[in-house]
Amino acid sequence: MTETRNIGDTLLKVDNISLSFGGVKAITGVSLEIREREICAIIGPNGAGKTSMLNVINGFYHPQEGTITFGGEVRRKMRPHLAAQGGIARTFQNVALFTGMSTLDNIMTGRNLKMKRNFLWQAINIGPARKEELEHREFVERIIDFLEIEAIRKTPVGRLPYGLQKRVELGRALAAEPKLLLLDEPMAGMNVEEKEDMCRFILDTNDEFGTTIGLIEHDMGVVMDLSDHVVVLDHGEKIADGVPDVVRADQNVIDAYLGVAHE
Amino acid sequence: MEVLNAIFVLPFVDMFSEPIFFAEVVVGGLLTGVMYSLVALGFVLIFKASGVFNFAQGAMVLFAALTLVGLMEKGVPVWLALIIAAGVMVIVAVIIEKLVLRPLVNQPDIILFMATIGITFFLEGFGETVWGSDIHRLDVGIPDAPFEIGGMLLNEFDIWAAAIGAAMVGGLALFFRYTVIGRALRAVADDHQAALSVGIPLKTIWIVVWSVAGFVGLVAGIMWGTKSGVQFSLSLIALKALPVLILGGFTSIPGAIVGGLIIGVGEKVAEIYWGPLIGGAIENWFAYMLALVFLLFRPQGLFGEKIIERV
């Protein structure tokens, strides 16, 4: 599969990142690269620093050391909404949707940065502002079709089952037409059927829109099927990096997941 | 037996025997209720968008009214004074965001609540330092003459106040529902982190919300100020908004309206028909009793979102 897709140059380069909270080290000297159009998985046992890594890339956390290069530009300190402007969209481990709003409105918020009209226009809903809203609405409807959630378009997302909420969250991230899509455990807490659907959507997104995807996942089976490239973290350090088959056979990885026999 | 009769029968007999007087009481209550709603609305806006219970809303009402009245006393024409006062409320919003909200971001709610108490004292003190502590008479030119309709004696000013309040509430509801900024505001209210991740700048949103709450405060200040003069006690009407919020729910704009109306009518009717039984002055505490009952049976209010915790 990998051979048939044209994976491009490095899109995101994380170089020697260290992050600590007070005295607790979350990440120690981790470097990794995500290349254009690939699906890169970051895996590791609980507390390995996977979500911290995502939060660093996305600008929620500011690492004490290291640099991040995104799309050829080095950035030292990043704010989340600036990351979003730069083309990084994400989903959250514990779904973070706007629960009081409809599916449609939730996904529309993903278009927020694509809206060109200035602030004062945005405060009303007539004339050019209305026209623009309708254009974005069209795009959002395409995403809704793509994710097969037409039936719940007007439902407040707080009432949806968990699996569908995750799908809406993916839709919101896609609405931003991101260069890099970060998924934090997109399959957590799902049943087999929902997992299969989600896998399909992730692969289709990658195929159809050529979106680069970085994902965190626990389910090893899923990871091995989906990704072009796997990074394994353990206790905040990188212990393996490579194609799925190589990583699967790596002794360090097996030890980290299964534990090492003590002498 | 006589007591029960006086509580459960006689008041209703009075209501039905003099329906026009009863209607007058109800309408009077509704009109006062709109004014309560206006104050409560300021709370709801800020609570919705930032999850902060803004104790300073009352002080903002006072401050806005003081600024307006102060400018007018200096000879500034009404329309210009209104624009300047609105501008001052935007500046207040920017300063609060920069000096109070931003440094305290991610702190527990109670800390932010305490901070708004601090803002209350500052605004009250600062307002008095600049404009003095006398009672100012405010007249922005809204007609104020009593007139009769269908046998009821009403006040023209109250009708205006109700109309302006209703327009404001309707406008805000549309703004929240149908505009990009409104949607961003609702998004921020639901989940800060997620809002940031789709690129909604929290900073701007907070300034917008506090400014709008400032405008609402200004309008409420004009209404109450015209009625009872602009004075220190204006900031105490914030306390009257509390039962309104408990009734309507802290997150609901329609709730603030309906809550205000219920409280307005409730306290007037209670005062007139049941007040004499215990020597009057029910009006001052009736709202709080009603709120207490609501807290026991429906803590989320009439329209508030039901609090469901998933475990």
CA distance from start to end of chain B:
52
pLDDT at A60 over 70: yes
Over 70: is that where the pLDDT of B111 sits? yes
Q: What is the CATH number of domain A1-87+179-263?
A: 3.40.50.300
Task: With CB atoms and an 8 Å threshold, state whether B183 touches A113.
Answer: no
Which residues lie closer than 8 Å to A243 by C-beta, 6 or more apart?
A: A2, A228, A229, A230
CA distance B18 to chain A (A): 46
- Of the candidates B191, B195, B197, the beta carbon closest to that of A90 is on B197
Angle between helices B19-50 and B57-73 (to 10 degrees): 100
H/E stretch holding A119 reads helix A119-122
Tokens encoding B188:
């921020």
Note the pLDDT of residue B311.
Answer: 45
Cα distance between residue B86 and residue A248, in whole Å: 64
Task: Provide the pairing of β-strand B146-149 with A180-184.
Answer: unpaired
Alpha helix stretches (DSSP H) within chain B:
2-4, 10-17, 19-50, 57-73, 78-96, 109-131, 156-178, 180-190, 192-197, 202-228, 237-248, 253-269, 283-297
Task: List pLDDT tens digits, range A26-36.
Answer: 999 999 999 99
Q: Collect all residues with Cβ–Cβ distance below 8 Å to A26 and sequence separation of at least 6.
A: A19, A20, A49, A52, A236
Ordered by start, the domain boundaries in chain A are 1-87+179-263, 96-177
The predicted structure's pLDDT at residue B175: 84
Report the pLDDT averaged over residues B104-114: 83
The predicted complex's ipTM stands at: 0.76
Cα B100 versus chain centre, distance: 22
- pLDDT tens digits for B34-52? 888 888 888 888 887 777 8
Provide the pLDDT for residue A2: 47
The mean pLDDT of A197-202, rounded to a whole number, is 92
Q: In the numeric block, which tokens belong to residue A49? A: 């620093």
Inter-chain CB proximity A122 and B180 less than 8 Å: yes
A54/chain B closest Cα distance in angstroms: 12
Res B95: pLDDT: 93
Tell which residue, B251, B249, B248, B179, has the closest CA to residue B208. B179
Q: Which of A12-16, B11-15, B301-305 has the lowest mean pLDDT?
A: B301-305
Name the phi and psi angles at A207, rounded to 5: -70, -55
Interchain CB contact of A114 with B (< 8 Å): no
Say if residue A3's pLDDT is above 70: no
Q: What angle do CA B42, B77, B161 make, to 5 degrees?
A: 40
B18 pLDDT above the threshold of 80: yes
- Mutation target to probe the A interface, by most A beta carbons within 10 A, among B44, B198, B309 is B198
Choose the closest CB to B190 out of A81, A101, A113.
A101
At A20 the three-state DSSP class reads: strand
CB pairs under 8 A between A and B: 84
Whether A79 contacts A171, CB under 8 Å: no
User: Residue A173, SS3?
Assistant: helix
Cβ contact (<8 Å) for A123 and B181?
yes
pLDDT band at residue A111, thresholds of 50, 70 and 90? confident
Report, as an integer, the average pLDDT of A210-227. 86
Q: Which residue of A has its CA nearest to B202?
A: A81
State both tokens at B306. Answer: 């039901």
Q: What is the mean pLDDT of residues A221-242?
A: 88
Provide the percentage of residues in chain A whose pLDDT is more than 90: 29
Token pair listed for B163: 């109309």
Which residue, among A21, A88, A98, would best test binding to B if mutated, counting the most B CBs under 10 Å from its CB? A98
pLDDT tens digits, one per residue of B161-189: 888 888 888 888 888 888 888 888 888 87
Residue A146, C-beta contacts closer than 8 angstroms, at least 6 positions apart: A174, A201, A204, A208
Give me the DSSP letters along A52-90: HHHHHHHTSS--SEEEEEETTEEESS--HHHHHHHTEEE
- The DSSP secondary structure of B9-66, one letter per residue, reads IHHHHHHHHSHHHHHHHHHHHHHHHHHHHHHHHHHHHHHHHH----TTHHHHHHHHHH
Reported as a pLDDT band with limits 50, 70 and 90, residue B128 is: confident
Looking at the complex, does the CB of residue A93 fall below 8 Å from at least one CB of chain B? no
Candidate CATH numbers 1.10.10, 2.40.50, 3.10.450, 1.10.3470; the one for domain B2-297? 1.10.3470
Contact indicator for A14, A68 with CB cutoff of 8 Å:
yes
Across all residues in chain A, what is the average pLDDT? 86
Structure tokens at A184: 């934090």
A234 SS3 class = strand
β-partners of residue A43 are A232
The residue ranges of DSSP E strands in A73-228, in sequence order, are 73-75, 88-90, 180-184, 212-216
What pLDDT score was predicted for residue A40? 93
Q: Enumerate residues 153 to 172 of chain A having a beta carbon within 8 A of any beta carbon in chain B.
A: 172
Report residue B264 as tokens: 């307005």
Which residue's entry shows tokens 């996305």? Answer: A58
- Give the whole-angstrom CA distance, residue B192 versus residue A190: 25
**Digit-coded pLDDT (tens) for B265-302:** 998 888 888 888 877 778 888 889 888 988 888 877 77
With beta carbons less than 8 A apart as the criterion, state whether A114 and B180 touch. no
